[in-house]
Amino acid sequence: MDKLDLLVVVDPYPSATAAMAAMPGKPEDLNPNRAVYLLPAATQFETSGSCTASNRSLQWREKVIDPLWESRSDHMIMYQLAQKLGFDKELCKNYKMQKVKGLDEPVPEDILREINKCVWTIGYTGQSPERLKAHMKNMHVFDVKTLKAKGGKDKETGYDFTGDYFGLPWPCYGTPEMKHPGTSNLYDTSKHVMDGGGNFRANFGVEREGKNLLAEDGSHSLGADITTGYPELDHILLKKLGWWDELTDDEKKAAEGKNWKTDSSGGMIRVFMKNHGCHPFGNAKARAVVWNFPDPIPQHREPLYGTRPDLMAKYPTHDDKKAFWRLPTLYKTVQDKNIADKVHEKFPLILTSGRLVEYEGGGEETRSNPWLAELQQEAYVEIHPKTAADRGIRNGDRVWLLGATGARLNVQALVTERVDTGTVWMPFHFSGRWQGADMLAYYPKGAAPVVRGEAVNTATTYGYDSVTMMQETKTTVCNIEKA
């Protein structure tokens, strides 16, 4: 971090990143031209906007208070950065501005409307701010088990909720006027597409190696006019089916030469779904063999850092990739080196990490909350009684966790049978202590979290998923010794 030219932290809390940037390292590493900026961002209560949950439904959050002190909302920060770089007019050309504490801020409703206008593929188009706000004001009309509204009208706008699923879970296809109810369960052929039903998408071509990839006769969503497989919707398909003239003149102008993903009127989607009950992304077979992945069917491959070189020989990892998302990414080289260096002898325990109830994510926000901090005051490592006994460690002792990265973490030991003899577990929510030392002095005054602890990712090692490039934080090796 000392070598960087520029570091910008945008967060309601300064975070361990800011503290680490302030913490002095080796003097020869420090870049004299380094600039570090901490921009206080507003929390979700200081601005309004839509919020998507992991069940795919959206909610509209209302602003509760104006941003405190000097904090600004994320979209205001982006707008002001664009202004400094000179392209704010292009970035915000579809947004009206509102004044927040005297400064211009893009209106959050307009930002959602811009998304509604173009994200056709995953169905982020039907959830207009108006529909979402009506849902939020009338939660009582939605059934508690199915989340579907059987009826009801919003008092202020007269919006009719009938058929809507709460939060209009994406994909919610078409324009808001088309009033798609959202999709509660994906690919559900027992429902009509205008009731949230669907079939499997035709994303992988029409045929492969002589086999038909589209759905067979009789496999379709409820009430679909086409009762067999069909490819993705485009203007050619619509014309062939003879449904082109169901478009209005304006829609025809926008849809000519386009497919359902590039038709800015949403007319093709409207005709296909509402008039004929068919799904715009096509009707194809689901596939169990993913031919474009490195492993078409999941194979077991030992991790780069493991405690079983014999299994690494039997289930080796992937070959190195010269350019993976434009970066050279190593697999086999690292694993082979670890076998050669006998890493498993120096670090005979598998280290994995996981969640605690009291904290969330990196823990900056939740460890700053006094009520939650009181419930989990120490970073700790779970060790099996045998592993602990072998090292003379008792429950509550302080221990050094030695990572294969060279890191040394000073944490408390929790001796339990929750982990087996070869594994240890650490929560990943902690930060603010570095190799045994408290970083309190390096946080901006008064802005340190209540509870600080060692960050487990100081000890996690190199490794990336072969498709998504997700980092390997769930398995590595370590050793533990009494402090």
Site residues (vs other proteins, CB under 8 A): 143-145, 357-358, 370-372, 374-375, 416-418
* Closer Cβ to other proteins, 54 or 299, answer by number: 54
454, 367 Cβ separation under 8 angstroms: no
Nearest to 111 by CA among 58, 64, 168, 49: 49
Other beta carbons within 10 Å of 29: 10
Shortest Cβ 382–other proteins spacing (Å): 9
Give me the least distance between CB of 372 and other proteins, in Å please: 6
Distance, in Å, from the CA atom of 299 to the CA atom of 279, rounded to the nearest integer, reads 33
Where in 191-348 does DSSP place strands (E)?
207-208, 211-212, 321-324, 327-329
Between 244 and 425, CB nearer to other proteins: 425
CB 459 within 8 A of CB 403: yes
Q: Which is nearer to other proteins, 20 or 372 (CB)?
A: 372
Q: Which residue type occupies 426?
A: M
Please say which residue, 4 or 375, places its beta carbon nearer to other proteins.
375
User: Whole-number minimum distance, CB 143 to other proteins, in Å?
Assistant: 8
CA distances in angstroms from 179 to 25, 110, 159, 478, listed in the order given: 58, 19, 10, 55
Shortest Cβ 408–other proteins spacing (Å): 27
* Closest to other proteins by CB, 143 or 320: 143
Contact 388, 457 (CB under 8 A): no
Q: Considering the complex, state which of residue 254 and residue 450 has its C-beta at the smaller distance from other proteins.
A: 450
Say how many C-beta atoms besides its own lie within 10 A of residue 328's C-beta. Answer: 9
CB of 145 to other proteins, least distance (A): 6
The least CB distance from residue 481 to other proteins, in Å, is 23
Q: State the DSSP string of 344-407.
A: HHH--EEEEEE--SS--TT-TTGGGSHHHHHH--S-EEEE-HHHHHHTT--TT-EEEEEETTS-
